[in-house]
Amino acid sequence: MGGKLHPKLLERYVFTRVGIRDPAVVVGPGIGEDAAIVDLGDGRVLVAHVDPITGAVEHLGWLAVHVACNDIAVRGAKPRWLLSVLYLPEKAGEELIDKITAQIDEAAKEVEAMVVGGHTEFTPGLDRPLISMTAIGVADRGRIVTTSGARAGDVVIMTKTVAVEGTAILATDFRDALLRHGVPLEVIERGKRFLKLVSVVKEALLLAEKGLATSMHDPTEGGLIGGLAEIAYASKKTIAVYEERIPVAEETAVMTRALGLDPLKLISSGVLIATVPKDKALEAVEILRRGGVNAAVIGEVREYTGHLVVVHRRGGVVEEIDEPYVKDELTNVWERYAH
């Protein structure tokens, strides 16, 4: 079964085994924290993050750059340097290598970052290519935002529409399954264009520059609900959201309905979640709008009630999330349709 390690396994085997404790590390490994922060000693910090791309094939290189850079930007830092590790099936041809590296180059130019190193190899046992991408940036320490900064009374803002990355992956990698389930071809073609929306670098830096966000997060696996659960866990708070307020694109709604998926739990890179003080919410939404990014207020942060996330579904059903682990719907799709 794919997906992230359960938090209990992370606590038991990963977070307690980090080598020496370096006092320069401001933020190290932790559930929900998007990137490490290291004090450089001159009022500046180094921000670093590594992310694998395993659930996509068609636009692997493009997604690898943008997903990793998103996790730098939500810290309030501009991504500058990249290191990629590319794992290829043993029978992969030169055409595949050309395609993936061209995508990496194009995406890196878009975020104004440089690939400064990495590794490539033909890996036994793989049936599709995989990438692990590291992104690095530098920022003023006073401008840094953490996942753990959400405060009771803050409101929750999300940008764009839910499941941006998931919609693009469904449209590109699961086209045949969608067609078999009656999704019109024109809907699938529009869904492919969501790939161009997976970056949150611009909106994250807009909020960071104005000092409006108490926390920011790029929801990847587990989708919007998974991202909210990680903010709540890191901040020791409860987040209440309302399904009727959450923007869902028509393409996303049609595809997820056809495959029986919950769009709120579908991988959502391209969506920025930010918590902001209630009296700054309109200012934050307006700044994003002027920057060309739509945003909506979808809920609020409360003192911890015993649940991480409380989702008020349409029709009055209340769903309570108690763990910072939410299985991504894309995992179910791979299990059903990959072969």
**Cβ atoms 157, 60 nearer than 8 A:** no
**147-337: same fold as 22-143?**
no
What residues pair up with 91 in beta bridges, in sequence order?
Answer: none
Under CATH, what is the fold of the domain 22-143? 60s Ribosomal Protein L30; Chain: A; (3.30.1330)
Contact present, 299 and 276 (Cβ < 8 Å): no
- For 166-217, the pLDDT digits (tens) are 999 999 989 999 999 999 999 999 999 999 999 999 999 999 999 999 999 9
Whether the CA torsion 74, 78, 83, 84 is positive or negative: it is positive
Is residue 1's pLDDT more than 50?
Answer: no
Domain borders along the chain are 22-143, 147-337
Look up the pTM and report it. Answer: 0.90
Write out pLDDT tens, residues 134-168.
Answer: 999 999 999 999 999 999 999 999 999 999 999 99
- Calculate the CA 18 to chain-centre distance: 24
Mean pLDDT, rounded, for 41-59: 90
Do the strands 318-321 and 309-312 form a parallel or antiparallel pair, or are they unpaired? antiparallel
Domain boundaries 147-337, corresponding CATH code: 3.90.650.10
The pLDDT of residue 338 is: 66
> CA-CA distance, 70 to 82, in Å (whole number)?
12
